[in-house]
Amino acid sequence: MFHDISYYKPDLHDCINRVRDFFSLEPGAPQALIYTFPSVLTLRGPALNQYDFEHDMQSYLDDYLEYQAQLMEIRLGIEDDWILSVVPYMGIGEFSAFVAGEIEFGEDTSWAAPVINEKSDLETLCLDPNNKWFRKLNEATRYMVRKIAPYRIPLGRGYYSPLDLAWALRGEAIYMDFYEDPQFVHNLMEFALSATEWFARAQAAEIFAPDVVHELSAWHCGPNRVAVSEDISSLISPSHYAQYGAPYTQRLFDSFGIGEVHCHSAGPHVVPEFLKLKRVRQIQIVADPNTRRPVEILADLMDKNPELFGKSPDVPVIAVDASPQEAVDYYDLSRQTRIVFSVVTENAEEARHAVDIFRAKQKQC
């Protein structure tokens, strides 16, 4: 199914050096990186609702790994800065069901209904190692890691932030709770913080088990690094995020040592709050439909908040979705802060072209 990672990435050694120099701010490091993701629109993964996750999860995992192997084959000859990885995917239901609830699978995603319908329901929740989905998700990670480790392919893993998990457990009612019962929200956030760290450490134990760990295992995640989504922040004010989200995400990052934030272009108003967090390695802004482009958002933020950007270990790398041309047109932003341009294309040929014009721009700078 898989080959050694060097088969897919013949320039692996040079790529590793570029990226390490970039993140560690070595003299002469590139000002910006380019990641490309071809065939996202032309090759779909297996339909989730065609599998029996209760009794035969392995069938899905085998088909999903085959799909990942196909994606890697398509990437042959693309000399970008992305280190290939496998990222588990069972939809968004998995991000809260390890606490409580059941997962409903659709074709291309999944859901878990809120379980805190009354505020008193919070007192009934606990972190149970015998929870069905907690066990299954750890088993799934263990299975995938053992399938890809012999080929030196790392596994990438992210989680809901404490605020996103609190929303998943409470549902839309949390937006009224912000105003009506702040103390309840803080109690919920304390629980969500504990749950996030508990699950992330359990997953890390599988990813970095002594019999499967290799030199690239920690490339996209690690026992001392945690990546979280702050998607719900798009729907709240910066002041609410500063009150209810930031303190708990900060404690999570402090506990692990370093963190990464994923957010969306629908919520540019909260990005300055992410930049105020400490121990942040990277902030990723992905593109939503019918919103401003992430590169435009970044340019605007840098113009309005120049004090939040720069090139030092205390300032996170900013990763933005971009078209091939946008990665060139907005390249000069990297003079002010470190940027990763994440270019999604319909096919490998377009991805190779994106790398070619990006490298040409780098040489000019």
pLDDT tens per residue, range 209-224:
999 999 999 999 989 9
Let me know the angle formed at the C-alpha of 91 by 86 and 96, rounded to the nearest 5 degrees.
110
Residues 346 and 39: beta-carbon distance below 8 Å? yes
DSSP class of residue 15 equals H
CA distance readout (Å), 181 to 119, 174, 184, 237, 343: 10, 9, 5, 17, 42
d(CA 14, CA 281): 22
- Cβ-based neighbours of 282, under 8 Å, separated by 6 or more: 260, 261, 316, 317, 318, 319, 340
Residue 45: what pLDDT? 86
Length of the chain: 365
Residues 268 and 236: beta-carbon distance below 8 Å? no
Residue 44: what pLDDT? 74
Widest CA span in the chain: 62
- Was domain 5-364 assigned CATH 3.30.200.20? no
Where the chain has pLDDT below 70, the residues are 40-43
Domain boundaries, the chain: 5-364
pLDDT tens per residue, range 131-142:
999 999 999 999
For residue 224, how many other CB atoms are within 10 A of its CB? 11
d(CA 218, CA 225): 9
CA distance readout (Å), 80 to 35, 36, 68, 269, 348: 6, 7, 18, 31, 12
Residue 43: what pLDDT? 67
Residue 302: what pLDDT? 97
**Tokens coding 310:** 């720069």
